[in-house]
C-alpha cells in the first residue's frame, strides 16, 4: 500500500504545465496569470491547443498509474489510495516546493481508471463540466460540479464503495484547492474563459 502510494505521488507530481511553459516560452508559469501550473493557466500563456494537451497528460498521469498498479494488485483500497496519491502529487509536487495545480484533470483521470470498464460516471461528469463551463464561463465552478457529479454517480453505477468514498474526498479537496477562485467569483474579479 505504501509502495503504490509513493509511486502514485511521484507519477502525479510531474508538473506538466510548468515544464511546457519552460520549454515553449522559457518562463516560469507560476509568475504568470493565476500562478497555477494547471491546464487553464497554461492555456492563457500557451494557447488552447496546449491547454488541451496538458489537461490530457495530467489526466493520463493519474489514470495510468492506477491502471499500472491494477496489474499487480486487485485491492480496491490500494488502487484508490494510488489514485489519491497521484492527485496529491499534482497538487503538492516536491519538485516545486509543494506548490502545484488544482488537480482537476488528474482527478478525472483517476476516476476514469478506478473502473476502466464502467466509464459512465466520468463521461456524465465530463458533460456536466462542459455544460457548466459553457454556461458560466468559470472553469473552477465547472470543475467542482463535474467532479462531484462523477463522485455521486459512482454508487449509482455500482462502483465499489471504497472508490465512491475516496472520489467524494477528492471532490472536497477540489473545493479547497479552488477556494481563492470562489472568493474571486464572489468579488466579481475571477477571469472567465472565452
**pLDDT tens string 2-25:** 999 999 999 999 999 999 999 999
85/186 Cα distance (integer angstroms): 31
| Cβ atoms within 10 Å of 158's Cβ, excluding its own | 10
The model's pTM = 0.95
- For 57-91, the pLDDT digits (tens) are 999 999 999 999 999 999 999 999 999 999 999 99
- The closest of 30, 104, 105, 109 to 66, measured between CA atoms, is 109
Cα three-residue angle 38-41-67, rounded to 5 degrees: 20
Cell of 54: 496538458
Given this model, what pLDDT does residue 39 score? 93
Which candidate, 171, 172, 161, 10, places its Cα nearest to that of 85? 10
Q: What residues contact residue 164 under an 8 Å CB cut-off, 6+ apart?
A: 151, 154, 155
Q: What mean pLDDT do residues 86-105 have?
A: 96
pLDDT beyond 90 at 34: no
Segment 140-151 shows an average pLDDT of 98
Local confidence band at 194 (pLDDT 50, 70, 90 cut-offs): confident
**Could you tell me the residue ranges of all domains in the chain?**
2-187
Q: Report the pLDDT value the prediction gives residue 78, as an integer from 0 to 100.
A: 98
What is the average pLDDT value for the chain, to the nearest integer?
Answer: 95
Burial (0-12, 13-18, 19+ Cβ within 10 Å), 93: buried
Amino acid at each position: 500500500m505504501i509502495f503504490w502510494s509513493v509511486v502514485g505521488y511521484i507519477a502525479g507530481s510531474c508538473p506538466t504545465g510548468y515544464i511546457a511553459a519552460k520549454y515553449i516560452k522559457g518562463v516560469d508559469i507560476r509568475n504568470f496569470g493565476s500562478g497555477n501550473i494547471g491546464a487553464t493557466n497554461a492555456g492563457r500563456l500557451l494557447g488552447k491547443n496546449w491547454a488541451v494537451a496538458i489537461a490530457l497528460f495530467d489526466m493520463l498521469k493519474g489514470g495510468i498509474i492506477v491502471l499500472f498498479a491494477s496489474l499487480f494488485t486487485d485491492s480496491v483500497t490500494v488502487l484508490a489510495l494510488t489514485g489519491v496519491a497521484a492527485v496529491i502529487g499534482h497538487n503538492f509536487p516536491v519538485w516545486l516546493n509543494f506548490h502545484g495545480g488544482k488537480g482537476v484533470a488528474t482527478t478525472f483521470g483517476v476516476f476514469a481508471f478506478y473502473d476502466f470498464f464502467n466509464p459512465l460516471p466520468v463521461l456524465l461528469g465530463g458533460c456536466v463540466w462542459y455544460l457548466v463551463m459553457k454556461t458560466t464561463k468559470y472553469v473552477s465552478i465547472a470543475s467542482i460540479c463535474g467532479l462531484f457529479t462523477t463522485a455521486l454517480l459512482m454508487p449509482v453505477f455500482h462502483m465499489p464503495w471504497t472508490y465512491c468514498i475516496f472520489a467524494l474526498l477528492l471532490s472536497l479537496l477540489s473545493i479547497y484547492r479552488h477556494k481563492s477562485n470562489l472568493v474571486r467569483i464572489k468579488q466579481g474579479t475571477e477571469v472567465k474563459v472565452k
